[in-house]
């Protein structure tokens, strides 16, 4: 079983999923936020009464999640004809660690277009796979190839722009699904590192992902690398935001994502 | 009393705010989504135990809100040293109509920068105030001056780009606050109108606003017009997204906002 699927194993009931954090996706403090978001999405996806596919997911991070057992209380707030609204709460020892709201629904064919052009980059194979230091577990489970704005730019020199472009996929390769896409939207290193040219304490406070691809379009991506583009828009007063686009190798805009991040200079 | 303040009058208790929808902010079906978002934010802001200022607000719209009475159940999910997490549910006759999660917190001085440049536009006074048809109540309470991508572009001709730039403020003028900023982030006409050059059924499903300005910086804007820039990124399968920036006249990036919108061609 793939480590990502192992991390998303849930027991319990429809109303209260239970699981354990995975050492494979440990971050400096607690698990990688992306895997927490994916786990909360999965707790909804696996519900027997789920309607359609994920359209939108917002996860707020309330405090550092401890390694070990957790429970996710999942409540269907409302089911409409074509959309369904969810609230979920990730708890440990009765203390809330994360909340999620999600919109699921049925998609139907309409006119469509991705308005930004996919960035003009070379094939993933043309970029080196990053060799991460062994210290951070979750990074060992991703194959990241920086196109621009990589870790080499964290060199003590402040920069004017925060954009990073990266090819990324699970390691070992794994066919992408909505949960993996939710995790990928949190896979960029903090934009403040890139602006200030150094690492500093930072943590996501709120993460929203809009899923634009349907299941069939996601399946067509197979396990090919995803092209991610992330940039910050506003930095100040202890917080910054990040806007990201996730593209398939076939130039399909699979998801757009935003997050608000706490930082300490 | 300003119509916006009147619309946000809430009674009831800390745990359950009660109010009535305002005819001043009626939309085609139910109230303007921006005023619903503002009302949910206000239901948290007015809590006796609130910590600091709004940092992030996500409102999901579950179904058409009826004119009349509503209740907002407000729950403080967790209070940390410098952040506080909220969940709120807007109900009518016991049926959930909207959910909100919000992060509040204390800001502190840090390095800061707005990364995109404010758009290069003329002063608000150099653009004509839009004269809206009387049919839609909420629009009568805003002074909108289109810089580009205005309603004149909904002329039956499809376009390649969805951007709209507008100067906007409450009418009559009103000093901006967080609730007003939440409402303004939903004040752009649907991006799909601009792409397809025609009006069609569309409604916001999920709206997120990140507040980058603190209360002092907002107060400094007084009642000057706000410069809003909105564009879509992905259109298809019955949904599109919108990314927006809201700038003060002094070129402060006050808020960034995103929404997912349902549409029907």
What is the tens place of the pLDDT at every residue in B68-78? 999 999 999 99
What average pLDDT does the segment A139-146 reach?
96
Q: What is the pLDDT of residue A28?
A: 86
* CB contacts, 8 Å: B116 with chain A: 233
Contact between A85 and B96 using a beta-carbon 8 Å cutoff: yes
Q: Which residue of A has its CA nearest to B76?
A: A96
Q: How many whole angstroms separate alpha carbon B101 and alpha carbon B89?
A: 9
Length in residues, chain A = 265
Q: Does A265 lie at the interface with B, CB-CB under 8 angstroms? A: yes
Confidence of residue B134 (pLDDT cuts 50, 70, 90): confident
pTM of the complete model? 0.98
Q: What is the pLDDT of residue A131?
A: 87
Q: Does B79 lie at the interface with A, CB-CB under 8 angstroms? A: no
Q: What is the pLDDT of residue A3?
A: 98
Q: Is the pLDDT of residue B103 over 90?
A: yes
For residue range B219-234, list pLDDT tens digits in order. 999 999 999 999 999 9
The distance of B49 to chain A (nearest Cα, Å) reads 17
Q: Is the pLDDT of residue B133 over 80?
A: no
Q: Does B99 lie at the interface with A, CB-CB under 8 angstroms? A: yes
Alpha carbon distances (Å) from B64 to A87, A136, B97, B209: 19, 46, 7, 21
Q: Which residues contact B31 (CB under 8 A, 6 or more apart)?
A: B21, B22, B25, B65, B67, B138
Q: Is the pLDDT of residue A92 over 90?
A: yes
Q: Is the pLDDT of residue A132 over 90?
A: no
Q: Does B131 lie at the interface with A, CB-CB under 8 angstroms? A: no
Q: Does A256 lie at the interface with B, CB-CB under 8 angstroms? A: yes
Query: How is residue B258 annotated by DSSP?
Result: E
The torsion angles phi and psi of A236, rounded to 5 degrees, stand at: 160, 160
Which tokens is B172 given? 């009559």
Confidence of residue A205 (pLDDT cuts 50, 70, 90): very high
What average pLDDT does the segment A227-234 reach?
98
Which tokens is A28 given? 């400096």
The distance of B193 to chain A (nearest Cα, Å) reads 12
Q: Does B195 lie at the interface with A, CB-CB under 8 angstroms? A: yes
3-state secondary structure chain A: CCHHHHHCCCEECCCEEEEECCHHHECCCCECHHHHHHHHHHHHHCCCCCCCEEEEEEEEECCCCCCCEEEEEEEEEEECCCEEEEEEEEEECCEEEEEEEEEEECCCCCCCEECCCCCCCCCHHHCCCCCCCCCCHHHHHEEEEEEECCHHHCCCCCCCCCCEEEEEEECCCCCCCHHHHHHHCCCCCCHHHHHHCCCCCEEEEEEEEEECCCHHHHHHCCCCCEEEEEECCEEECCEEEEEEEEECCCCCEEEEEEEEEEECC
Helix (H, G, I), strand (E, B) or coil at B196: helix
What average pLDDT does the segment B201-227 reach?
97
Exposed e or buried b per residue across A3-37, where buried means at least 16 C-beta atoms within 10 angstroms of its C-beta? bbeebbebeeeeebbebebbebbbbeebbbbbbbb
Asked whether B61 and B207 are in contact (CB, 8 A), the reply is yes
Percent of chain A exceeding pLDDT 70 equals 100
Q: Does A79 lie at the interface with B, CB-CB under 8 angstroms? A: no
Contact between B208 and A205 using a beta-carbon 8 Å cutoff: no
* CB contacts, 8 Å: A113 with chain B: 195, 234-236
Torsion of CA A79, A81, A83, A85, to 10 degrees: -10
Q: What is the pLDDT of residue A35?
A: 98
Q: Is the pLDDT of residue B179 over 90?
A: yes
Q: Is the pLDDT of residue A133 over 90?
A: no
Percent of chain A exceeding pLDDT 90 equals 96
Q: Report B:19-38 residues touching A (Cβ under 8 A).
A: none
Q: What is the pLDDT of residue B28?
A: 86
Confidence of residue B86 (pLDDT cuts 50, 70, 90): very high
What average pLDDT does the segment A23-27 reach?
96
For residue B204, what are the β-bridge partners?
Answer: B261
What average pLDDT does the segment B51-61 reach?
98
Q: What is the pLDDT of residue A29?
A: 85
Q: Report B:153-182 residues touching A (Cβ under 8 A).
A: 161-162
What average pLDDT does the segment A10-25 reach?
98
* CB contacts, 8 Å: B161 with chain A: 115
Q: Is the pLDDT of residue B36 over 90?
A: yes
Contact between A231 and B115 using a beta-carbon 8 Å cutoff: yes
Query: How is residue B125 annotated by DSSP?
Result: G
Confidence of residue B80 (pLDDT cuts 50, 70, 90): very high
Nearest to A220, CA basis, from A175, A167, A169:
A175
Confidence of residue A135 (pLDDT cuts 50, 70, 90): confident
Across the interface, of B83, B110, B235, the residue whose CB is closest to A265 is B110
What average pLDDT does the segment B124-134 reach?
90
ipTM higher than 0.90?
Answer: yes
- Interface test with chain A among B37, B115, B218, by most A beta carbons within 10 Å: B115
């Amino acid at each position: 079983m793939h480590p990502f699927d192992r991390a998303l194993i849930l027991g319990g009931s429809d109303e209260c999923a239970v699981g354990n954090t995975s050492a494979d996706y440990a971050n400096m403090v607690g698990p990688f936020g992306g895997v927490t978001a994916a786990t909360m999405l999965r707790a909804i996806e696996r519900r027997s009464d789920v309607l359609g596919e994920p359209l939108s997911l917002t996860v707020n991070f309330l405090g550092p999640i401890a390694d070990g057992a957790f429970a996710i209380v999942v409540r269907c707030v409302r089911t409409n004809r074509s959309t369904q609204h969810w609230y979920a709460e990730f708890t440990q020892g009765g203390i809330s660690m994360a909340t999620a709201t999600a919109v699921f629904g049925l998609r139907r064919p309409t006119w469509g277009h991705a308005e930004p052009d996919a960035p003009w980059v070379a094939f993933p194979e043309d970029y080196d796979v990053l060799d991460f230091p062994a210290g951070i577990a979750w990074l060992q489970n991703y194959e990241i190839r920086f196109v621009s704005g990589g870790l080499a730019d964290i060199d003590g020199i402040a920069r004017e722009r925060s954009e990073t472009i990266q090819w990324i996929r699970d390691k070992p390769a794994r066919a992408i699904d909505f949960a993996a896409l939710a995790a990928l939207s949190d896979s960029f290193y903090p934009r403040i590192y890139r602006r200030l040219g150094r690492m500093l304490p930072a943590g996501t406070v709120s993460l929203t992902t809009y899923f634009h691809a349907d299941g069939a379009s996601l399946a067509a991506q197979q396990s090919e690398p995803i092209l991610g583009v992330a940039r910050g828009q506003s930095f100040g007063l202890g917080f910054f935001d990040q806007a990201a686009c996730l593209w398939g190798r076939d130039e399909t805009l699979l998801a757009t994502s935003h997050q608000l991040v706490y930082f300490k200079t």
